[in-house]
Amino acid sequence: MKVKDIAEEIKKIDRKQILNFVTNFYGKHEENQKVIYFKHMNMTYVFSIMSDDVEKVFFWGSRTIIEEILSMYSSTHVVECVTRDINEFEWLLRLHYLKFIILQRCYVSKMSNCENQLCSSISVVLQQEAEALIQLIHDYFDSVTSRYLLKDELEDLIEQKTVWKWEENNNIMAFLIAKKEGKKLCIEYLYNGSHNFKASYLIQIAKNYACENQLICVYAWKDVDNKISQKMYANNGFVEEKMYKIIYMKTV
């Protein structure tokens, strides 16, 4: 069957099926998320969704079919890959994609039991504090090496109660922002703004949340040369796994 014939499969698959696929493989979906393109054949999926005004393409299955479909794409888009093998998706370069390694390696803590004694001075972030937190992210995180966080996305995480803070005199001094991805909890941002505060408190809160919600692990992406982060995560029961988060972009 040729790629042009696969288009007929779109009529056989409803939107709910597509969104369920997104949830199963990528952790979450938005009900109002616009699905741009979808094809299915022999357990092979290629589809794209609009996220933060960027078209993101996902695929799963036969590489031959995937290559054929991607070669027909006529719009600017990105492909995000998480892999232990940095060369696993090099075949995308033959299709004229540009490659960006944004974050390398992750530190993983498998969940076995909950921590009982947690720092009482830590609390969840409230919706009215979202703007202040966004400003702190802009002030303290490099926009080139850190994923940009929109206010709407942060508010969604706050609603899920996966954003924690430590404050003094009503000022946020340290915070941790995490995101549920399927059965995993990813630490997106961890900021320790005071030398008197230990980031370990926030990490233990996140681990406790994962345990209570029956998640399998907590992980965080970190630069390979950041020895301080490496030591901090090691002291909190995390082990380093050699993985890579790679962005492939194709422009037209």
- DSSP character for 33? P
7-52 confidence digits (pLDDT tens): 455 445 555 666 665 555 444 555 555 565 556 666 677 777 777 6
Return the closest-CA partner of residue 48 out of 23, 12, 73, 16.
Answer: 73
**Does residue 12 share a domain with residue 75?**
yes
Is pLDDT at 138 greater than 80 in this prediction?
no
Considering the domain boundaries, does residue 249 fall inside one?
no
What's 207's domain CATH number? Answer: 3.40.630.30
Count how many Cα atoms sit within 13 Å of the Cα of residue 76 in the half-sphere of its side chain.
4
**Does residue 98 share a domain with residue 111?**
no
Least confident of 48-57, 110-119, 121-130, 193-202: 110-119
**Does residue 117 share a domain with residue 210?**
yes
Q: In this structure, how many other beta carbons lie within 10 angstroms of the beta carbon of residue 107?
A: 21
Domain of 166 in residue numbering reads as 107-244
Q: How many domains does the chain have?
A: 2
**Does residue 51 share a domain with residue 162?**
no
Considering the domain boundaries, does residue 251 fall inside one?
no
